[in-house]
Chain A
């Protein structure tokens, strides 16, 4: 157990600073992976180290005390942390999204809610709860699965369907026969059900949680179709999902580096040759490297194009259809390809991979679990495909379509 000590004075001042800090942390995180898994949640000293390094302020703009990272820079930070430990990368991204959600909340209210930029958010946005309209706000109840990072969060964001007098509430503008909204609730009101017993990403502590008849004032609720903060690339309904694919990309890079290190030292006993001279090893490593390069480039190219258009004052509607579809498709691709790369390298190292002391074993499990996240599902492909073909996307928000 290596305690990570981070004096507050070392708070990152820029994106480059934070990225360097994330890279420095990675080896320690790797050493503590077994402990993180075992805890089935991030140990508190690691949370505080991430906080002190400025990870959770990366999505807030400078005038809020944040670091104002672009989506590309955020993704790089997540990659660097996931290079050390996938669960840490995962929870970092999710926890840092407060700086994105704050843009959809009345700005005076948001400043009161988030007095410092280092607060951590967790929660599930898919509407799984029930919110009854009452004077001044809502009464929220429900059970949400997959609350990654909930054990160490300050705020919980949860999607819920809105009801009035017990009946489904339709949006006044007629856009939605049954409205759903996001509800921000202080962590203390949530009850966590300790049920995150998974084989992969075990350290993410993605347990179920419940709210029971909690009053949420109107101003603490929001919808992604109404921006209150300064317009810009992060005030976009897809912004909070962009950097998530940094987690699988970081793991893939870690596995590639690890497998190459091993290959450099190993001898094939039967053939009497170093692994470095074996066709099988050479081809598998190179093929995985090619897949990694293309996948990562696909993610950053789509993200950069979107960023450029949004920064210039455009909207997602100003992207060419292929460019718009490229964004969510690149996420799916990163999750899936990363798992495929890890699987192939796992097989390359054969029985050296199967022991729990091998990081390859953990990466195999982590990428299998990550791949079940919504961002990596066929639902995203269906939505992008439907969008391109002029059909009906089942999950429009992955394309930034919220109406």
Chain B
């Protein structure tokens, strides 16, 4: 726990620098994937590599001295890191949330909480905890699942339902019969339960954690409908979800490049034909490439359209119905198509894929696990479908609807 972390020396100050460093880091991360998996969390020095690359500061606005990457640029960083190791990228993107949540915190408190731009904030936003109103703030308790990166973070943000005198607390404006908020506590105020024993994305250390009766001052809590910083495309309730799909996209690109490299050297023993000349190989590689291109283009085009509208001072309500629906759909599509691409390439390489020494094996496991993240669930399809039909979306925040 290093709340008074001294600024990282030689920090990258522009988006291009952060992206270049992420790309340069990828081979190093790939080389350590087996070790990262084995540890079931990011090794401390890998966390420092991410910090030095500027990953944790990438969402901070220029007014705070940050490089203020656009959502598209953040996604590119996620892709670049995931090209090396999916767990490192996953934790990198999640840890970079500090700059995003600063938009929802009182500007006077921001420099107090974040003396450095390179602090990692992680946590689970689903309201799984209980927050009792007390003078000056709340007392927070609960258990949250899937706290990716919780072992190495500086701040933990957790969703909880609000209670007053033990009773559900309704929003004063009548908008919500039982209010929930986000609560930010120091990393050393949570207890981590070492239960992340998974087959995929093992290195993400996405353990359960508990918080027991911790006082959280009012100004360390936030709600997505209350922007306190400068309005802009990143001061939006959906901004923290946008770049996560860079992780599956990066893995898909890595698998495509790997499979192509293998295919270009292999000869089919039975027919004596080079793999490069086999119909099966040609069609599978090309079809996966087509799916990748379309999926990636779908992600960036919906993100860019949204960015343009928000940067021009508009809100998500200024998007057309189809444009607004396109963003969460593109995230889901990136997760699912990446997994499908990895599986098809895994099958293409046949028994060469099944050994644990093959990166294809790890990518198969990583994408299977990733696809169980909420962003890739049918709940997103259901919510978007409901939105398009004028029904009631179950999980509205994926559309940036918070009221």
Contacts and interface: CB of A to CB of B under 8 A. Distances in A.
B135 to A, nearest CB: 32
A220 interface: no
Interface stretch (A17-25, A197-205, A294-302): A197-205
B198 A198 contact: no
A354 B371 CA distance: 10
Contact of B356 (A197, A343, A347, A364): A197
Given A271-B394, A280-B378, A354 B200 contact: yes
A199 B365 contact: yes
A261 interface: no
A378 B225 CA distance: 53
Interface stretch (B15-23, B92-100, B345-353): B345-353
Interface in B110-154: 145-146
A139 interface: no
Interface string B334-359: 00000000010011001101111100
Given A280-B378, A364-B199, A377-B350, A394 B271 contact: yes
A24 to B, nearest CB: 30
Contacts of B361: 198-199
Contacts of B310: none
B301 interface: no
- Interface class of chain B by DSSP: mixed
Given A271-B394, A365-B199, A354 B372 contact: yes
A143 interface: no
Interface residues on B, range: 20 to 34
Contacts of A361: 198-199
Interface residues of A, number: 33
A270 B126 CA distance: 11
A346 B361 CA distance: 18
Contacts of A356: 197-199
B351 A351 contact: no
Interface string B249-291: 0000000000000000000001100000000100000000000
B347 A372 contact: yes
Contacts of A347: 371-372
B199 A199 contact: yes
Contacts of B198: 354-356, 361
Nearest to B371: A347
Which of B346, B354, B371: most chain A CB closer than 10 A? B354
B377 interface: yes
A356 B198 CA distance: 5
Contact of A200 (B350, B354, B379): B354
B364 interface: yes
Interface in B153-207: 195, 197-200
A372 B199 contact: no
Contact of A198 (B199, B200, B354, B379): B354
Interface in A3-46: none
A266 B372 CA distance: 17
A218 to B, nearest CB: 27
A347 B372 CA distance: 7
Interface in A292-351: 343, 346-347, 350-351
The 6 closest A-B pairs by CB, nearest first: A354-B198, A198-B354, A351-B372, A369-B354, A356-B197, A354-B369
7 contacts: A354-B200, A354-B368, A355-B195, A357-B197, A361-B198, A368-B343, A371-B347
